[in-house]
Structure 1
Amino acid sequence: MTNSINEVLDTNVIFVTGSNTTESHPVIGAKIRQAVQRGAKLIVAEPRKIDLAKDAEVFIQIKPGTNVALFNGMMHVILEEGLHNKDFIAERTENFEALEKMLKAYTPERAAEICEVDAEDIRRAARLYAQADKASIFYCMGITQHTNGVNNVMSISNLAMLCGQIGRESTGVNPLRGQNNVQGACDMGALPNVYPGYQPVNKPEITEKFEKAWGTGLSEKPGLTVSEIMNAAGHGDIKFLYIMGENPMVSDPDTTHVKHALEHTEFLVVQDIFMTETAQFAHVVLPAAAFAEKDGTFSNTERRVQRVRKAVEPVGHAKPDWKILMELMNHLGYQKMYRHPEEIMEEIASVTPSYGGITYERIDEKGIQWPCPTPDHPGTKFLHKGSFARGKGQFMSLEHKPSAEEVDPDYPLLLTTGRILYHYHTRTMTGKVDGLNRIAPESFIEIHPHTAAGLKIQNGEYVRVSSRRGSIVTKVKVVDTIEKKVVFMPFHYAIGAANMLTNTALDPTCKTPELKVCAVVVEKLSQTELDSLRSYAAAGFIG
């Protein structure tokens, strides 16, 4: 996030898109609701009528995968009506003329046709955002998990810069991270092309710096992304795969493809706190300690580095992740020893400029937001004050591109996926809680009443859902919160798994798969299939 969570309370306009915030990030969703109660206006642009839509001044129910067209349509209105921030554009940005030229073609009527919405709603949203004194954008994986995910994010940045809604308190572009400490993992270099602090591996001076710090030779060649690793493993090119705290057999697209990849990996190690669906394929499972069983730090979505303290001893043979990794590297011949995570944090500060001033002592009672380059630096509440990291912000001229899969006669519905309040990610933890399982026990698909009637399907009935990659059986929920051509499934469940259906097509830049859009067909089950299903349910295999 460019800004801090509590800053939303003083925002005049909040724009939520690609995020079911109250269910996926309930703390921040509650803050947004508090801001609305204090007078803030809310814009929501989502394929589903999410709970926050009830509080919205403008709700735009867009077709999945059409965000760039929506943002371009809003910017067209802002320019046409002279609502853009001319001073901010002149002083802090470049390439504005090219953007302005490209946007001429994106009238609200054209954008509305692409997004399958009302052009007047695009105008209302544009005016509301542009005329706000302070406006914030919040988005999540409904923006990023597309073949044009990078363009979606850049288009959001275009909109914020066009209106000068960045670099000030209670404004900004605020991505909500999908898992606990995923921000910290990225900060620490758990990406294929950077060292800690997003320092590029292909810069000789950076490589030399880390070689000196770690006393060993390092490659300047960027590695593979998760999606590329799975593809390579499927072809037998990955001989050894080490998976930590991740469950790709449920979370990754095209489960059949993932299963094939794991089965064709010569040596698979999984390090986790439970025996997950992925761990079932492992040659070795390393039991890891849970959050309450170890000391360390987490970095949350607002860049705040906070202490975590051990409350109980690890169960059985489980060990903290840092200790497992240290013992492994010692066995492999690298003899660096740490006695406590605080020593690791000291090393982090020595090689990572944005963490340079963060110590256990300083975050003993309250976390610090990076960048915090020196021991006397207070941390950074919001980013880009006065200037951007690259100097001037660059406008990007980005055209709408359709999703990798569109509907056709064989697959007439668009499936989009997401989360629900009662389960977390692949249910590795929440799936073991009886109370949560009573509320949300099984996979389901949301279908519009008109679509369900046409298929002669009733609420609560089981159906077959198929894509070009696979087929599953799941339960129907007939709802009026989605459009007739769109269906929705949560991805949490291993049985009736949404990701049996989703598409492995990748964004060409960041290699993120298109988990949020694929074409499917929904079919009524035969009586024989229903009888078999009841038999499986009675035996405890489903439900």
Structure 2
Amino acid sequence: MTNSIEEILNTDAIFVIGSNTTENHPVIGTVMKRAMKNGAKLIVADPRRIELADYADVFLQIKPGTNIALLNGMMNVILDRGLHDKKFIEERTENFEEFERVMKQYTPERVAEICGVDEEDIIKAALIYAEAEKAGIYYAMGITQHTTGTHSVMSISNLSLLCGNIGKVSAGVNPLRGQNNVQGACDMGGLPADLPGYQKVFKPEVQEKFEEMWNSNIPNKVGLTIPEIFDEAEKGDIKFIYIMGENPMVSDPDINHVRKALTNLDFLVVQDIFLTETAELADVVLPAASFAEKDGTFTNTERRVQRVRKAIEPVGNSKPDWQILMEFMNGLGYNKKYLHPSEIMEEIRTVVPQYGGITYDRIEKEGIQWPCPDIDHPGTKYLHKAAIARGRGLFMAIDHRDSAELADTQYPFIFTTGRVLYHYHTRTMTGRVEGLNKLSPKSYVEINEVTANKLGISHGEKVRLTSRRGSITTWAKVTDIIDENVLFMPFHFAEGAANYLTNTELDSIAKIPELKVAAVRIEKLGS
């Protein structure tokens, strides 16, 4: 997030797109509701009528995969009515002319046809955003998990720059992370082109810096993303995979493909706190300690580095992840020893400039938001205040492009996935809680009531869903919160798993799979 969670309370307009915030980020959803009580206006864009839509000043129930068209349509209105921040654009951005030329093509009338929404609602949303003194955009994987995901994020950046909402309190571009330490994992180099602190592996000065720090040779070639790793494993070109705290046999697209990849390896290691569906395929399972059994830090969605403290001793033979990894690298001949996670944190702050001033002592009572370059720095509440990090904000002239797979006569429905309030990711933990399983016990597919009537499907009946990649059986949930031509499933459940159906087509830039749009057919199986 460029801005902070607490800043939502004082914003004038909230634009939620591709995020079911109250179910997937309920704490932030609560802050949004409080902001609306303070007078903030709310725009919601989503293929489903999520809870926040009931609070919205305007709700845009867009077709899956049309985010860019909607954003372009809003920017067309803002430009046409002269509501853009001309001073900010002139002083702090570049490439505006080319961007403006492309946006002029996205009239509200054209965009309404692409997105399946009312033209007047596009105009209303644009005016709410542009006329607000402070407006923040909040998005999640409904934006990124598309073949156009990177361009969708660029379009969000365009909208924020257009109205001068970058480098301003209670505004900004705010991705809501899917898990509690996704931000921290990225910060520490959990990306194929990056060493810790987003320092690129292919830059000689970065390679030299880390080789000196670690007294070891560092590869200088960009690695593969997870989908690329699985592709290479299925071909037989990758022989060994080490999976930590992830369950791709439920969470990744085209599970049949994932199984083929993992079973084609010479050796698979899984490090986890439970025997997951993925761990069942492993040659070796390393039992890891849970969050309550270890010390360390998490970095949350607002860049806040926070302590996590051991409440109980590790159960059985489990060990903290850092200790397992240390013993693993020691066994491979790298003899660095750590006695406590605080020593690792000290190393982090010496190699990651953004973490330079963050120590265990300083975050004993309250976390610090990076960048925090030195020990006297208080941390950074919101980014780009003095200047945009790259120098000038870059407008990108982005066109709408259809999803990789559209509905046709063989597969007439668009299928999309998401999460529910009661379960977390692949239910590795929440699936063991009796109360949560009573509230959300099994897989289901949401079907519009008109569609269900046409197909003779009743609420609670068993149905079969089929895509070009696989087939599953699940239960029908007849509802009016989804459009007639769209089907929605939560992806949490291993039985009747949604990801047997999803598409592995990738965003060409970020290599994110198109989990949010696939073409399927549905058949009634009976009660």
Scaled to the shorter chain, the TM-score interval is over 0.9
1:127 corresponding residue in structure 2: 127
CA-based RMSD = 0.6
> Which position in structure 1 is the counterpart of 2:181?
181
Match for residue 463 of structure 2? 463
Q: For the residues of structure 1 that align with 2:523 and 2:100, how far apart are their CA atoms?
A: 46
Q: Which residue of 2 aligns with 1:258?
A: 258
The amino acid across from 1:366 in the alignment is E
Deviations 1:473-528 (A, max 9, x none): 001010000110001000000000000000000000000000000001010116xx
Measure, in 2, the Cα distance between the counterparts of 1:313 and 1:250: 30
CA contact (8 A) 2:92 2:387 kept: yes
Distance in 2, matches of 1:82 and 1:191, equals 40
Q: Name the CA distance, whole Å, in 1 between partners of 2:366 and 2:103.
A: 45
Pairing of 1:115-154 with structure 2 (within 5 A): 115-154=115-154
- Shift in Å at residue 104 of structure 1? 1.1
SS in 2 for 1:525: strand
User: In the alignment, does 2:477 pair up with 1:491?
Assistant: no
Query: Which residue is equivalent to 1:13?
Result: 13
Contact 2:470 2:500 survives alignment (8 Å):
yes
Partner of 1:103: 103
Match of 2:405? 405
Q: Secondary structure at the residue paired with 1:154?
A: helix
1:151 CA drift (Å): 0.4
Residues 213-224 of structure 1 aligned to structure 2 (within 5 Å): 213-224=213-224
In structure 2, give the amino acid aligned to 1:369.
Q
Tell me the secondary structure at the aligned position of residue 233 of structure 2. Answer: helix
* In 2, Cα distance between equivalents of 1:524 and 1:171: 47
Matched, 1:165 2:165: yes
Tell me the equivalent position of 1:374: 374
CA–CA distance in structure 1, aligned partners of residues 145 and 336 of structure 2: 38
Verify: 1:325 aligned to 2:325, yes or no: yes
Q: What are the Cα deviations for residues 215-257 of structure 1, in whole angstroms up to 9, with x where unaligned?
A: 0011110100011001111111111100000000000000000
Residue of structure 1 in register with 2:239 after alignment = 239
Counterparts of 2:102 and 2:394 in 1: how far apart (Å)?
15
Q: 2:64 maps to which residue?
A: 64
Q: Find the residue that maps to 1:52 and give its secondary structure.
A: helix
Instruction: Give, as a single letter, the amino acid of the residue that structure 2 aligns with 1:329.
Output: M
Q: After superposition, give the CA deviation of every residue in 1:17-63 in whole Å (9 maximum; x if it has no partner).
A: 00000000000000001101111000000000000000000000000
**Alignment match, 2:76:** 76
Q: Give the secondary structure class of the aligned counterpart of 1:137.
A: strand
- In 2, Cα distance between equivalents of 1:277 and 1:73: 43
Q: Write the distance in 2 (CA, Å) between the matches of 1:297 and 1:74.
A: 40
Partner of 1:286: 286
User: Which amino acid is the alignment partner of residue 315 of structure 1?
Assistant: V
Counterpart residue type for residue 346 of structure 2: E
Per the alignment, residue 420 of structure 1 pairs with 420
Q: Identity of aligned pairs, percent? A: 66
Q: Return 5+ residue gaps in structure 1 as ranges.
A: 531-543
Residue 386 of structure 1 deviates from its aligned partner by: 2.2
Secondary structure at the counterpart of residue 228 of structure 1: helix
Residue type matched to 2:351 in 1?
A: V
The reply on whether 1:344 has 2:344 as its aligned counterpart is: yes
Q: How does 1:437-476 map to 2 (within 5 A)?
A: 437-476=437-476
Q: CA deviation at 1:77?
A: 0.3
- Say if 2:485 is the partner of 1:521: no
- Distance, in Å, in 2 between the alignment partners of 1:422 and 1:200 is 38
* CA apart distance, 1:274: 0.2
How much does 1:180 deviate? 1.2
Structure 2 CA distance, aligned partners of 1:32 and 1:416?
25
Aligned position for 1:535: none
1:360-414 Cα shifts (integer Å, max 9, x gaps): 0000000000000000000000001121111001000000000000000110000
Name the residue aligned to 1:298: 298
Q: Distance in 1 between matches of 2:388 and 2:221?
A: 28
Q: Which residue of 2 aligns with 1:88?
A: 88
Distance in 1 (CA, whole Å) between partners of 2:462 and 2:150 is 37
Q: 1:207 aligned to 2:244?
A: no
Tell me the secondary structure at the aligned position of residue 159 of structure 1: helix
Quote how far apart the aligned CAs of 1:166 are: 1.3
Per-residue CA deviation, residues 302-355 of structure 1 (Å, 9 max, x unaligned), is 000001110000011000000000000001000000000000000000000000
Matched AA of 2:409: P
2:197 partner amino acid:
G
**Matched residue SS, 1:156:** helix
Distance 2:135 2:457 in 1: 43
Structure 2 residue aligned with 1:432? 432
- The separation in 1 between residues aligned to 2:169 and 2:104, in whole angstroms, is 31
**Amino acid of the residue matched to residue 100 of structure 1?**
E
Counterpart of 2:229 in structure 1 is 229
Does 2:304 match 1:313? no
- C-alpha distance in structure 2 between counterparts of 1:182 and 1:76, whole Å: 34
Distance 2:237 2:388 in 1: 40
The separation in 2 between residues aligned to 1:523 and 1:191, in whole angstroms, is 40
| TM-score where L is the length of structure 1 | 0.97
Name the CA distance, whole Å, in 2 between partners of 1:464 and 1:105.
Answer: 41
**Is 1:477 the counterpart of 2:477 in the alignment?**
yes
- Secondary structure of 1:212's counterpart equals helix
| Amino acid in structure 2 at the alignment position of 1:73 | G
2:473–2:496 CA contact under 8 A, matched in 1 = yes
What number of residue pairs does the alignment pair up?
A: 527
The letter for the 2-side match of 1:396 is: M
Letter of the 1:114 partner, please give it: I
Question: In the aligned structure 2, how far is the partner of 1:354 from the partner of 1:7?
Answer: 21
Q: Which AA in structure 2 matches 1:421?
A: L
What is the rounded CA distance, in whole Å, between the counterparts of 1:102 and 1:39 in structure 2? 34
